[in-house]
């Protein structure tokens, strides 16, 4: 029951479910996914109101057309169960679980969804933001290999990691972020980088996206609409990469190369694994082109 990978998740925007204006905007934004947030972006006194706004948005004409994810409060918190029911009623593509410590948190949410007869098409995303989640990342990601489990995406929660570990500076976070990417690959999951709080500095943001892409992340979580454009472009294949991929495909398609495992193109060794990479890149480029029509 695996969804076909890779699904485009270059730009994934948090929208506080308590913010009527932001919710109203979310339908028209060109991000690949929205995370409608009931958790950290919503104050304790606003929770019930936010659930109601979420319900109205998802039932109405302003329902976003992109992938829809709802972040709920932890199931063990006073809001968790009501959030889960509200989220399930909104028929999202996925529910994002915060403060995950280990695989048990995900299995519990999976079972709670089953109890509501939620379709298996509602997936689970997991925040990786507690020290325990970083230590248990391998066993969390292992759930991605289980065809019966709903887990589909790991989301780095860099603000919480910094708070919980007392790390300062993105440089010191990088080893843990690399673990998130590695675990995602082992578990056939999407990996999303954390947010950049400084939403007015788009130049720094572009650099951070480029770094995240080089680290292997599929996309970036965002807090502001201005961050969508840079993320969409940085996480898309470049013209140069597309041309190179096309050349690789064309070379391997030649009759004399059809059965060869390795060839040379412009003085570089190119193996069949590069052909697979090239085909995946071209597929992604086509998806992006399709989306922009």
Return the residue of 178, 223, 247, 282 that touches ligand COA, per CB under 6 A.
223
Stretch that binds ligand COA, among 15-23, 95-103, 166-174, 266-274 (CB under 6 A): 15-23
Residues 6+ apart with CB under 8 A from 288: 8, 232, 236, 237
Under the binding rule (CB under 6 A), the answer on residue 31 touching ligand COA is no
Residue 19 beta carbon to ligand COA: minimum distance, rounded to whole angstroms: 6
Contact residue for ligand COA among 9, 17, 18, 26 (CB under 6 A): 26
What residue 225 binds from ligand COA, Mg ion, none (CB within 5 to 8 A, per partner kind)? ligand COA
Q: Is 37 in the site for ligand COA (CB under 6 A)?
A: yes
* Binding partner of residue 7 among Mg ion, ligand COA, none, CB cut-off 5 to 8 Å per kind: none
Where would I find the beta strands (DSSP E) of the chain? Answer: 11-16, 33-37, 67-71, 94-97, 123-128, 151-156, 190-193, 219-222, 262-265, 268-271
Per the CB < 8 A criterion, the answer to whether 65 and 93 are in contact is no
63 is a contact residue toward ligand COA (CB under 6 A): no
Token reading at 33: 């996914």
Nearer to ligand COA, 160 or 244 (CB): 160
Q: In this structure, how many other beta carbons lie within 10 angstroms of the beta carbon of residue 186?
A: 14
188-217 residues near ligand COA, rule: CB under 6 A: 195, 199
Nearest to 72 by CA among 114, 27, 103, 41: 41
Q: Tell me which residues touch Mg ion (CB under 5 A).
A: 40, 129, 157, 160
Contact predicate 13/24, CB 8 Å = no
* Preceding amide of 6 cis, omega within 30: yes
Six-digit token string for 32: 């690949």
Task: Tell me the per-residue interface mask from 41 to 60 with ligand COA, x by CB under 6 A, - otherwise.
Answer: x-------------------
Q: Does 15 bind ligand COA (CB under 6 A)?
A: yes
Give Cα separations from 267 to 93, 94, 264 (angstroms). Answer: 45, 45, 6
- Binding region for ligand COA (CB under 6 A): 13-16, 21-22, 25-26, 37, 40-41, 195, 199, 223-225
């Amino acid at each position: 029951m695996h969804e076909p990978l890779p699904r485009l998740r270059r730009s994934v925007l948090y929208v506080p479910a308590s913010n009527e204006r932001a919710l109203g905007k979310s339908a028209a934004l060109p991000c690949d996914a929205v995370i409608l947030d009931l958790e950290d972006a919503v104050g304790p006194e606003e929770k019930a109101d936010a659930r109601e706004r979420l319900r109205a948005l998802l039932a109405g004409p302003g329902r976003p057309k992109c992938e829809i994810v709802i972040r709920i409060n932890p199931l063990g918190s006073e809001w968790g169960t009501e959030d889960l029911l509200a989220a399930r009623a909104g028929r999202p593509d996925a529910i994002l679980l915060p403060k995950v410590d280990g695989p048990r948190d995900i299995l519990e949410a999976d079972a709670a969804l089953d109890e509501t007869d939620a379709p298996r098409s509602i997936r689970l995303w997991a925040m990786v933001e507690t020290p325990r989640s970083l230590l248990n990342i391998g066993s969390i990601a292992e759930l991605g290999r289980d065809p019966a489990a709903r887990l589909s995406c790991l989301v780095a929660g860099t603000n919480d990691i910094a708070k919980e570990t007392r790390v300062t500076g993105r440089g010191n976070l990088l080893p843990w972020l690399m673990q998130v990417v590695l675990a995602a690959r082992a578990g056939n999951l999407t990996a999303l980088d954390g947010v950049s709080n400084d939403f007015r500095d788009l130049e720094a943001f572009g650099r951070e996206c480029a770094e995240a892409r080089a680290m292997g992340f599929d996309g970036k979580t965002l807090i502001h609409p201005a961050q969508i454009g840079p993320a969409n472009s940085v996480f898309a294949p470049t013209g140069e990469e597309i041309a190179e991929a096309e050349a690789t495909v064309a070379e391997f398609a030649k009759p004399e190369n059809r059965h060869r495992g390795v060839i040379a193109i412009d003085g570089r060794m190119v193996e069949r694994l590069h052909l697979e990479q090239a085909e995946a890149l071209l597929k992604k480029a086509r998806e992006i082109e399709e989306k922009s029509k």
